[in-house]
Amino acid sequence: MDIKDILAQRQGTHGEFADNADIMQTLKDAVRARPGWDKLDATKREALDMILNKVGRIVTGNPEEPDHWHDIAGYATLARDRVKTASTITGEDAKSGAEAMAELRRRAGI
């Protein structure tokens, strides 16, 4: 398969490149302009960039392409796996997921 065939195939699933570039850069500019962007480490920034790339493909290409959605889940998982827990930040002993959820519910009055 030559490069023209590959590009034609990708256009069917990913959409037109210029449309992708427009929406992806618009989304990235909006996210990067927020104060929280500067609080993110490189892994979370890259995960968000890649997720926004996939969002661009969804809205300009084929939204029924399962790989787009699978990739978003993958990048979100990579970022989630690198999230600093409250125990890491405060130095407290690690809490189980159930204990952490119970604490969040208690604080929220739920």
> What digits encode the pLDDT tens for the residues 3-45?
999 999 999 999 999 999 999 999 999 999 999 999 999 999 9
Residue 84: pLDDT band (50, 70, 90) is: confident
Q: Are 33 and 26 in contact (CB under 8 A)?
A: no
Spell 27-61 as b/e; 16+ CB within 10 A means b: bbeebeeeeeeeeeeeebbebbebbbbbebbbebb
Report the distance separating Cα 34 and Cα 12, nearest Å.
33
Give the residue extent of every domain in the chain.
Answer: 3-108
| pLDDT per residue as tens digits for the range 89-109 | 554 444 455 666 666 667 666
State the average pLDDT over residues 41-52: 96
